Amino acid sequence: MQALIMAIIATIIVSSVGVVFAPNVLHIMGASDEVVREGSIFTRIMLGGSLVIILLFLINGIFRGAGNAAIAMRSLWLASLINIFLCPALIKGWGPLPELGLKGAAIATTIGRGMGVLYQCYHLFWNKKGTINLSREHFIIDFPLMKSLIKIAWPATFQFIIASGSWIVLSQLVAKTGGEHASAGYQIAIRNLVFFILPAWGLSNAAATLVGQNLGAKRPDRAEKSVMLTAKYNAIFMTGVMLLFIFFARPIISVFTHSPEDMAYGVQALQILGAGFIFYGIGMVMIQSLNGAGDTKTPTRINLLSFWFFQIPLAYLLVKVFNLGVVGAFIAIPVAETFLALAAWYYFKKGNWKKVVV
């Protein structure tokens, strides 16, 4: 409950800033005046409704930590299915629903995720058969507990800021280097990457949970075995996705756009990004396992080094110095992710995470 209270406070700040400065954010990202006009309302709705996004993932983390990953999975399925139906319905105006265009996509996403959060809250507050049951007395603010949570969480939070910030910088570089067609193709490729990477992300979260539970049971050997087994299966799965992206990039991208320019950039991005999928899978498992052990500072340092001191300088070097254009930015991503995976593997095998006391 203390984590939920802090999340709500943080979200109010983020949402307020996002709603007010949405056009400025798009301008900073290199969007044209037309894109800013069309996209500002979308951005305001998404950032204004970010509470449901944050709660969806935070509460899922609570259930996964309690070993009940099924509820987390079902809440995401519910949110996604509602979003999948409402998105085209509100964009195009199916039946009695209004035709809202781009704004409809933001509303659909917010409603879908909001329904997922309501499903989670039912199990968190009202379903007394669950592992975790929150009641009225848990709403009392506990500052010492909040301080403890912040101490553990700030490095992990910083990890996401580091990673997200680097993706924003690369998106800006692609937009300014290749224009709107390059940006559109790149974003389509990224969306597909994020979708196909979700099973690997789920396995990585499972590894983190197993590490925490086995360390709590004084079984570091079993924790390490769980991680290595998860890494193996993740690598196998990601190999399949890598081959899919390399050889079937054009049919995949063609589902999302019929513009020849967007498609050309999208296919190129998907093939190059897909080349590093094996390392994405291994790196995710190692990073999440270190986090699950409570060693959140090591992954933070690895992320900072990999993304800000390696990926971004490499992207600018390839784009600006070697004149590779947007291809240089695409190449920097799998190269940096490979570096991250190797670094995370090294620190995991060192075994210092076994001695962390939470």
Question: Can you read off the two tokens belonging to residue 52?
Answer: 């449901």
> Is residue 321 very low, low, confident or very high in pLDDT (cuts 50, 70, 90)?
very high
The alpha carbon dihedral of 220, 221, 226, 229 has a sign of positive
So what's the pLDDT on residue 296?
A: 86
Kindly list the domain boundaries of the chain, sorted by start residue: 1-141, 152-358
Rounded CA separation 223/186 (Å): 38
Question: Can you read off the two tokens belonging to residue 130?
Answer: 């669950």
- The answer to whether residues 267 and 253 touch, using CB atoms and an 8 Å cutoff, is yes
Q: How many residues does the chain have?
A: 358
Q: Is the pLDDT of residue 128 over 80?
A: no
The pLDDT tens digits of the residues spanning 194-209 come to 888 878 888 898 899 8
The alpha carbon dihedral of 341, 347, 349, 353 has a sign of negative
- The answer to whether residues 148 and 289 touch, using CB atoms and an 8 Å cutoff, is no
> Is residue 156 very low, low, confident or very high in pLDDT (cuts 50, 70, 90)?
confident
The pLDDT tens digits of the residues spanning 35-83 come to 888 889 999 999 999 999 999 989 988 888 787 878 888 998 999 999 9
Rounded CA separation 36/214 (Å): 50
Q: How far does the chain reach from its first CA to its final CA, in angstroms?
A: 19
- The answer to whether residues 259 and 181 touch, using CB atoms and an 8 Å cutoff, is yes
Higher pLDDT, 73 or 235: 235
So what's the pLDDT on residue 72?
A: 86
Buried b vs exposed e over 243-269: b needs ≥16 C-beta within 10 Å? ebbeeebeebbeebbeeeebbebbbbb
So what's the pLDDT on residue 160?
A: 85
So what's the pLDDT on residue 25?
A: 87
Within 10 angstroms of residue 41's Cβ, the number of other Cβ atoms is: 16
Residues in CB range of 153: below 8 A, 6 or more apart: 3, 296
Place of tokens 């193709």: 185
